[in-house]
Structure 1
Amino acid sequence: MATFKLEVITPQKKVLEQEAEFVMLRTSEGDMGILAGHAPFVAELAIGEMKIKNAGEEVRYFVSGGFMDISAERVMILADEAMDVREIDVERSKKEAEVAKQKLGKLKEDRDIAATQKALQEALTKVRLAEQHL
């Protein structure tokens, strides 16, 4: 099967650079699958899971927002946060979710509420993905 270059970059570091046969991830419009030769495309990413398939192996990542740029040669993921689901600390993510839930009840400003809701969604998604991997 044909492959393409996949790069995943966060503000902190380059998370991944490898060849891939297939990538599936969540965009703001829904889940999207990418194969080699995909038409050029740019999409906003949503909080969710990214599946990468290559040489019969599948690796899963947590991705928190950002953008995806598909060109003829590569797929570049510019994510707010990205990590292999095997690296997620489930207990820490559960604590982050609890803190966000408690904080939500006390907030008054819309922008603070939105940021806290995003943090809660990120933490709950990490827990779900990590528990699926166990």
Structure 2
Amino acid sequence: MVIAKTTSGEIGVLAGHIPMVAPLAIGAVKLKKADGSTDIVAVSGGFIEVRPEKISILAPSAEVAESIDVQRAKEAVKRAEGRLQGKQDNIDFKRADLALKRALNRINVHEGNI
């Protein structure tokens, strides 16, 4: 089973699901394996493509929870917050906001707060 956060809400997909494509939001993707274990992956958007026997996820970046560098993510949060709070005219606020959301997602996935 795959559980993913799309831009329309959370979806769960089992084998044999009808084909579909959906845009992914910044969030966690849970991969529940046949042996009962679960992998959690932080994704920064992208798309999920579902076929009856295969699921593909296309994302600009994806990191398994255990491999996330939390210190680097915390530094990214500080940088993004600084940009958002700054009074500079040349700051791209949408880009800074997305950077903040991606960094917070990485921290939350690593810590299991999903």
Q: Distance in 2 between matches of 1:68 and 1:108?
A: 36
Structure 1 length normalisation: TM-score?
Answer: 0.77
Q: 1:104 aligns with which of 84, 88, 92?
A: 84
- Is the aligned partner of 1:51 residue 2:30? yes
The amino acid of 1:52's aligned partner reads L
The residue identity in structure 1 corresponding to 2:60 is D
Larger relative strand fraction: 1
Please, which runs of 5 or more residues in structure 1 have no aligned partner?
1-21
Q: Given residue 19 of structure 2, which amino acid in structure 1 is its aligned partner?
A: P
The alignment's TM-score, normalised by the length of structure 2, stands at 0.90
Superposed structure 1 runs of 4+ greater than 2 Å apart? 105-110
What is the deviation of 1:71? Answer: 1.6
Q: What is residue 86 of structure 1 aligned with on the other side?
A: 66
**Corresponding residue number in structure 2 for 1:40:** 19
1:54-133 correspondence to structure 2 within 5 Å: 54=33, 55-106=35-86, 107-108=88-89, 112-132=92-112
Instruction: State the alpha-carbon separation in 2 of the partners of residues 87 and 58 from structure 1.
Output: 15
CA distance in 2, matches of 1:120, 1:58: 26
Deviations 1:5-51 (A, max 9, x none): xxxxxxxxxxxxxxxxx000110011110000111111000010111
**What is the Cα deviation at residue 74 of structure 1?**
1.1
Unaligned runs of 5+ residues in structure 2 are none
Q: What is the total number of aligned residue pairs between the two structures?
A: 111
CA RMSD of aligned residues (A): 1.6
- Residue deviations 1:46-80 (CA, integer Å, cap 9, x gap): 01011111121111110110011112231110001
The aligned runs of 1:22-33 (5 Å cut-off) are 22-33=1-12
Once the two structures are TM-superposed, the CA of residue 109 in structure 1 deviates from its matched residue by 6.1
SS of 2:59's equivalent in the other structure is strand
In structure 2, what is the Cα distance between the partners aligned to 1:108 and 1:35?
48
